[in-house]
Structure 1
Amino acid sequence: MVTTPLPRIVVAAPASGHGKTTVATGLMAALAAQGMQVSGHKVGPDYIDPSYHAMATGRPGRNLDPFMVGAQQIVPLLLHGAAAADVAVIEGVMGLFDGRLGTDGESSTAHVAALTSTPVVLVVDISHASRTHAAVVAGLAGFDPAVRIAGVILNKCRTDRHADEVREALRRTGIPVVGVLPRDTGVETPSRHLGLIPAGERTESAATLDRLAEVISAHVDLDAVAAIAATAPPLDGPAWDAAAEVTAPSAAAPMVAMAGGRAFTFRYAEVEELLRAAGCTVVDFDPLTDPALPPGTAGIYLGGGFPEVHAAALAGNPSLVAELRTAIASGVPTVAECAGLAYLCRTLDDTPAVGAVDAAAAMTPRLTLGYRTATAPADSLLGRLGEEVTGHEFHRTRVTPHAGGIGGTDDYGPAWLLPTAPDGFAGPTLHASYLHVHWAGHPQLAQRFADAVHRRAASTRAPAADMMRHHGDAETGPDLLDFAVNVYPGPRPGWLNTALRGALDDADAYPDPTEARAALAARHRRPTQEVLPTAGTAEAFHLVAGLRRWRRPVVVHPQFTEPHNALTDAGHTVTTVLCRPDDGFGLHPAAVPDDADLVVVGNPTNPTGVLHSAAAIRRLLRPGRVVLVDEAFLDAVPGEPETLTGDRSAGLLVARSLTKHWSIPGIRAGYLLGDPSLIADAARRQTPWSVSTPALAAMVACSGAHAGVESRRRATELQQWRAQLTEGLAHLGVRYVAGRAPFVLARVGGGVHATLRDRGIAVRRADTFPGLDDGWIRIAVRAPAATQRLLGELDRLLLKPRGEDHGDHGIRVPGGERAVTSR
């Protein structure tokens, strides 16, 4: 059997109110400040304490609840959450032996401590007594031989003399005092009607944690705590693995939009991990601020939180409310728990809400709280007739009617049958209930939701393979003005034509890349072993895809789809990380999963044109990870800012192309440069003579000094053309993405792409790029005369009333989309 060493402690107390959360979170923050990797855990179903744990440790807060997930899952979940941690700190719940009512302490702190063989550090509020506390500690220590109290922290001590009195009384128990906290530490955690305010809702949370770490470091013997943690025996068995619990029903990566922000802070970390393991792409959205669901949403998860506190602000985002209502009515699979249920009602405390279910939610004086065993009354999105699950209720709102099928809500049946009454609303594509269920204990719920999301994605768009293999050249035609293909529209330089024609004289011999490799290396001032000529960037992408059996390759989208296709063709399952329009499609390195071993990102990115900073891309680098940067369009940006062609970091590869800038799409000329060990691996995989003699000649010709002069002229001209195009779009009130590439991504509304084609103008459809829909088009920059014709057609289209002179194309240009993106 596998055994895993894991230093760990449980922070417990004789009762609630002794300061468990303060001490446990402070210990996490203080140990982390010493450079330790700390894993935070919470006994019970609580969501709020883990939010503070996450801030203190920089890792997801985890829950350990035998009732919710089953006693057999506690050790595996602990090992999973604490992977690669130096120490695990487990915060208890209520009093040490207080668990589910009517049982022998099930799901108590003591139960979890016994299941995990973890020593207990007891926090005792001594503000109202002294020696008596020693009797309490002694009684707790002797109550259950399976639970070992290994240390005590005295909290809210009035004076040193007071502490000495308690310490001396405790001496006879043999349990050491490892810390004494004064009564007034200046650390306070505010609460509201359901307990503490989540960390994500408190702007001062980070400062509070810093202060808490200082207090704990000053008053607790951290070395003694670490020594206690080190006495915990190794744990038997494997760690919990989401991939072993669920499977991906298709090779697609459909998007689940998961509510977050200040109003929706309650969800278990394992829910997202299960959905990712089931092949879904999980993207957060904030119902308070995001005007729309993420593009391509095929599933919605609305967890718990405090929407009643933010009801007015949620209602003040009508575009998202309307989109949610439409999405749910159209069958987008949706799971809503507790706060999510209240948000989906017609009203929330008399404030308009989403209206997806015909019910009203309102605050009540009574708190509903407790563990529940629930039964599915019928087949639904999550449940199957007669199936039982365990869960927890924790709310002060009440929904009227409280379950489907009552009071005119015949579209849905109840979600669950609880011991006292039916609860929630459920059907084939919706499951909304007050019951919080930990999916690690019921992974079949995650599987069913993921299956529905995959089905939804497959039913609402063309097959992913077809969409992802659409390229701009398919948009053009002999009678169309071409704004679809990103090839420089001017003639090739004479010296390049001469080089290409001269290459025909060498066509009687196999291609020799030696001269081209040396020329490219000289251009970028790198050794030749760090450069590899390729048959365009397409070959470069396929070479990288085949370098290893990538465990978790990531493509940052929207992005040129060829790298994604190359990875799929090589048999890999690709994880998609989306840059979002609400922040100008900026790159957020932290959004890339930590376990990604390959990350592909464009710079500037096709189709957005956004030029990411080199510093941001460097933050993607880490040991064991390869980062591939597609710089196919950077030579079209004057000065080639943010290029990484001169960066010699381990694990970094850069792909370049000569196709677009030099007007030679028929000559597949590209190259890879970067980490010499990776270049050598790619060279070994390369098909012999895959790069043609004309392509090699083009590489040599385009690397000389004369080519540099012409390249800079073209780049300057392209930027002037881009400025004319964006100024015209701004004049029309068309949203566009600020960027530096020789193309512009513009938000014109659905149907405009097809109508422009009917009027003789080809632009690139954008809904074949992950993360975009048919309201976007990509426009290649062109000379002023062509640009004016395009702008004239857009002016006529966008200024006409809806339905006028649109034929059957149904153009819709929402008024809110006429503001220019200025980022």
Structure 2
Amino acid sequence: MVAAPMTGQGKTTVATGLMAALRDAGHVVSGHKVGPDYIDPGYHALATGRPGRNLDPHLVGEERVTPLLLHGARGAGVAVVEGVMGLHDGRIGTGGFASSAHVAALTRTPVVLVVDVSRMSRSVGALVAGMADYDPSIEVVGVILNKAGSARNVAEITRSVAPPVLGVVPRDERIASPSRHLGLVPASEREDSARVVERLGEHVANHVDLDALLEVARSAPALDARPWDPAEEVTAPGAGPRPVVAVAGGRAFTFRYTETEELLTAAGCEVVGFDPLGDAGLPAGTRGVYLGGGFPEVYAGELAANRGLLADLRDAVRDGVPTVAECAGLLYLAESLDGRSMAGAVPARARMTERLTLRYPEAVSPRDMLLTRAGERVTGHEFHRTRITPETGADGPAWEIEGAGEGFASPTLHASYLHVHWAGHPRLAARFADAVSGSGALAADRPAREGAARAPEAPSGDAHGAPGPVSGPAATDIPDTSPVDPLRHHGDAETGPGLLDLAVNVYAGPRPDWLDRALRASLDDAAAYPDPAPARAAIARRHGRDPAGVLPTAGAAEAFTLIARLRPWRRPVVVHPQFTEPHAALEQAGHTVTTVLCEEDDGFVFDPTAVPEGADLVMVGNPTNPTGVLHPAETLRALRRPGRLLVVDEAFMDAVPGEPGSLAGEGLPGVVVLRSLTKHWSIPGIRAGYLVGDPAAVRELARVQTPWSVSAPAIAATVACMSAEAVAEAERRAKELDDRRIELEAGLRGAGIGFVPSRAPFVLVKAGQGVHARLRERGIAVRRADTFPGLDAAWVRVAVRPSEITRTLLAALSAG
């Protein structure tokens, strides 16, 4: 056993390197890890070429530790066990239960201590002596000095240590393992993992006496126990086809115990892996699903973009395919994760928090369920920084832990944060296998997901004008609106010939004559490169700003890209639900985005204290698209911090009478405000916009802007829309839209349909699951909202329209 006086001494580096070095020397090596760790065994597997395995008395019981060691070491010449934390550190309050020392005593394994000596000399001798003498049931047979310095200090330390020094390992930054918010980065997520392990082996082989270590290993006494055998734990099936159990894998789902798959195989199941990041659907013939742990929050964008697999999984759960989900699997089944749409098979939302939940509990089954029977107890562990809201479902919890319910369960679903080692509780595997064998809901046999909807007869009138009669399905196909990439889904994808358009937030009326004249006149300048100086000056006059703090852009889209490319942001934050393009731009630039969610229970009101102090970029919409919530200026000002850039997207502020809450006229350091002219002036094809703000930040943004990116028509439109005539017309339009929105909200309220009170030219409506598709069948296009982080398919966004269109919509909603 490779152990240490405390965590952080280099156990994983030395243990993994030792496994690799012994394998390179021609030995067959098995790797083991004390405790519930999933990450270290991944590196052990790379080093040994065999599955990494865990030894944990809490998870599997003391009586199974030695049999599991012998099972994992079957056919190997030497077993290397990596300890956990400090040698004697175990479950709190239990006298060292499940510690490295406990496992060493159970398996009669000699211990080699790894000690970081970078800041010590003779005190190492005292430390090692204390560790060796503390518990007479274990034997400390050697020491490896890690991160060693000068030869003189090493000699001093060696003279002070009683057990033999078996190696002196100097520091080598090339073999450092990167950290993650829950520990090391899993081996499967590192492209260079194999090379790192290879370097570890070379490093240990060069600085550790392998022959002496093998002599230590040979001193271990024989163990009077039979190797664990999965076939003895579950009932083997009779003849017949083996039902497929789909097991999530890939980079996002790396946490599961090898013995779980061995038990399912012994129980007659065919275990087939699938990658939620890339596979289009569940494996053919799936009759059971196992979703283990991992880091789905790191890959939330990619997981959310794989809509086909998410829909397949949601259908499988709803069709009663037996499904088990632990921690990351629970998050994947939720409605959303950090605002990204997930499978929606569990009625809860998940988000990252600053708080780490780490516990080693005993859980009780509250009733008979898929895996358990009422009153049964299991041991497990939890290790996560996410939170689920609500914490349990209406059908009751999956477990009762420390007096509280946790997780979601039904006769065919068991989803919770708790990780359970099924080798310690093989009845769970047996029951799951029985349920899978009795399941008739093969994935290949289920009906295909709903494809293209049927189009209605085309209403008379143009898309924004007065409607004709809305009819039922007709023979023409309406294009499928399922988003390929939720962050890039746009209302334009919802519209089509014959559909009444309430999906796109473009003002439903003609452009002013003065704007059309300016656009036509701009063509006279098409032979010259565009000069944005007139637009910059006009914007500065409109908002009372210094031109140095103004930058015309090719719409807000270019501004988002400029901000994403501006700096190597350490922790960019996007406040959701809101327009998704800022998030997409940051991810495209290679940044990992932190999502802060405004919650439905709070009316989607933004709480500035929810933004992490370490955020160096914060992007928030005002009023927010799609909720229509207008955040007070003082709320946004409270977000300013030294070294932080606050970006406020005011794309719809010009549609709010009086523009309350706007920061566009304030010269606040560290603040940039974005504006778009495309919606209010019905010119989305022109791509005209601008940003105003801190002159220092604006100068930085101007340096990364591509020359001549703003076209002559966009410059002409900007100049025209900054005039006094335009400001007056904008206010008139804003008041008109405000009246129409009030009418829409009154109709929704009268019909008993939920909505979010809005200040924008659109309303977020909680119409219910399936309403989006039913409206399309009736010839009405609204904006699906499940592509907005933090929302699900029960929501739709409805653009404000003239009275007759509003009445048509309300009639269709009331008809069900």
> 1:650-689 counterparts in 2 under 5 A?
none
The corresponding residue for 1:437 is 420
Say whether residues 1:240 and 2:228 are aligned partners: yes
> 1:244-393 counterparts in 2 under 5 A?
244-251=232-239, 252-393=241-382
> 1:501-580 counterparts in 2 under 5 A?
none
CA distance, structure 1, for counterparts of residue 219 and residue 277 of structure 2:
47
The corresponding residue for 1:99 is 90
Q: Secondary structure at the match of 1:211?
A: helix
The corresponding residue for 1:162 is 153
Query: For residues 459 and 301 of structure 1, do their structure 2 counterparts lie closer, same or farther at Cα, with a shift above 3 Å needed?
Result: closer
Contact 2:284 2:444 survives alignment (8 Å): no
Cα shift at 1:194: 0.3
Give the partner amino acid of 2:342: A
> 1:198-217 counterparts in 2 under 5 A?
198-217=186-205
The corresponding residue for 1:590 is none
> 1:6-85 counterparts in 2 under 5 A?
10-85=1-76
> 1:479-498 counterparts in 2 under 5 A?
none
Query: For residues 459 and 26 of structure 1, do their structure 2 counterparts lie closer, same or farther at Cα, with a shift above 3 Å needed?
Result: closer
Give the partner amino acid of 1:179: G
CA distance, structure 1, for counterparts of residue 43 and residue 140 of structure 2:
25
Cα shift at 1:184: 3.0
The corresponding residue for 1:177 is 165
Contact 2:285 2:443 survives alignment (8 Å): no
Say whether residues 1:110 and 2:98 are aligned partners: no
Contact 1:80 1:241 survives alignment (8 Å): yes
Give per-residue Cα distances to partners, 1:655-712, cap 9 Å, x unaligned: xxxxxxxxxxxxxxxxxxxxxxxxxxxxxxxxxxxxxxxxxxxxxxxxxxxxxxxxxx
CA distance, structure 1, for counterparts of residue 368 and residue 441 of structure 2:
22
Give the partner amino acid of 2:39: I
Cα shift at 1:369: 0.5
The corresponding residue for 1:124 is 115
CA distance, structure 2, for counterparts of residue 92 and residue 403 of structure 1:
35
Cα shift at 1:404: 1.6
CA distance, structure 1, for counterparts of residue 389 and residue 49 of structure 2:
40
The corresponding residue for 2:397 is 414
Give the partner amino acid of 2:399: W
CA distance, structure 1, for counterparts of residue 417 and residue 174 of structure 2:
36
Contact 1:255 1:299 survives alignment (8 Å): yes
The corresponding residue for 1:773 is none
Cα shift at 1:133: 0.8
Say whether residues 1:230 and 2:218 are aligned partners: yes
CA distance, structure 2, for counterparts of residue 64 and residue 275 of structure 1:
20
CA distance, structure 1, for counterparts of residue 440 and residue 140 of structure 2:
53
Give per-residue Cα distances to partners, 1:129-169, cap 9 Å, x unaligned: 11001001001111111110001000011111111110011
Give per-residue Cα distances to partners, 1:788-807, cap 9 Å, x unaligned: xxxxxxxxxxxxxxxxxxxx
The corresponding residue for 2:411 is 428
Q: Secondary structure at the match of 1:235?
A: coil
Contact 1:392 1:435 survives alignment (8 Å): yes
Paired residue for 1:151, among 122, 137, 142? 142
> 1:771-790 counterparts in 2 under 5 A?
none
Q: Secondary structure at the match of 1:432?
A: strand
Q: Secondary structure at the match of 1:186?
A: helix
Contact 2:30 2:78 survives alignment (8 Å): yes
Cα shift at 1:89: 0.2
Cα shift at 1:439: 0.2
Cα shift at 1:227: 0.6
The corresponding residue for 1:449 is 432
CA distance, structure 2, for counterparts of residue 223 and residue 143 of structure 1:
28
CA distance, structure 1, for counterparts of residue 101 and residue 442 of structure 2:
49
Sequence identity of aligned pairs in percent?
63
Give the partner amino acid of 2:201: A
The corresponding residue for 2:807 is none
CA distance, structure 2, for counterparts of residue 354 and residue 413 of structure 1:
20
The corresponding residue for 2:78 is 87
Cα shift at 1:183: 2.4
TM-score between the two structures when normalised by the length of structure 2: 0.54
TM-score between the two structures when normalised by the length of structure 1: 0.53
Contact 1:249 1:454 survives alignment (8 Å): no
Cα shift at 1:243: 0.2
Cα shift at 1:236: 0.8
CA distance, structure 1, for counterparts of residue 438 and residue 172 of structure 2:
57
CA distance, structure 2, for counterparts of residue 455 and residue 241 of structure 1:
25
CA distance, structure 2, for counterparts of residue 250 and residue 360 of structure 1:
42
Give per-residue Cα distances to partners, 1:744-784, cap 9 Å, x unaligned: xxxxxxxxxxxxxxxxxxxxxxxxxxxxxxxxxxxxxxxxx
Q: Secondary structure at the match of 1:258?
A: strand
CA distance, structure 2, for counterparts of residue 59 and residue 184 of structure 1:
26
Give the partner amino acid of 1:370: R
**How many pairs does the alignment contain?**
445
Say whether residues 1:191 and 2:182 are aligned partners: no
Contact 1:376 1:387 survives alignment (8 Å): yes
CA distance, structure 2, for counterparts of residue 460 and residue 303 of structure 1:
20
The corresponding residue for 2:654 is none
Give the partner amino acid of 1:261: G
Q: Secondary structure at the match of 1:153?
A: strand
CA distance, structure 1, for counterparts of residue 101 and residue 137 of structure 2:
8
Cα shift at 1:420: 4.7
Give the partner amino acid of 1:292: G
Q: Secondary structure at the match of 1:284?
A: strand
CA distance, structure 1, for counterparts of residue 160 and residue 386 of structure 2:
47
CA distance, structure 1, for counterparts of residue 318 and residue 401 of structure 2:
26
Query: For residues 461 and 205 of structure 1, do their structure 2 counterparts lie closer, same or farther at Cα, with a shift above 3 Å needed?
Result: closer
Give the partner amino acid of 1:178: L
Contact 2:398 2:414 survives alignment (8 Å): yes
CA distance, structure 2, for counterparts of residue 142 and residue 131 of structure 1:
17
Q: Secondary structure at the match of 1:40?
A: strand
Contact 1:304 1:340 survives alignment (8 Å): yes
CA RMSD across the alignment: 1.4
Contact 1:254 1:457 survives alignment (8 Å): no
CA distance, structure 2, for counterparts of residue 373 and residue 34 of structure 1:
43
Contact 1:291 1:317 survives alignment (8 Å): yes
> 1:698-709 counterparts in 2 under 5 A?
none
CA distance, structure 2, for counterparts of residue 131 and residue 184 of structure 1:
23
Q: Secondary structure at the match of 1:200?
A: helix
Cα shift at 1:92: 0.1
Any gaps of 5 or more consecutive residues in structure 2? 446-816
Give the partner amino acid of 1:128: R
Contact 1:185 1:215 survives alignment (8 Å): no
Cα shift at 1:186: 2.4
Q: Secondary structure at the match of 1:236?
A: coil
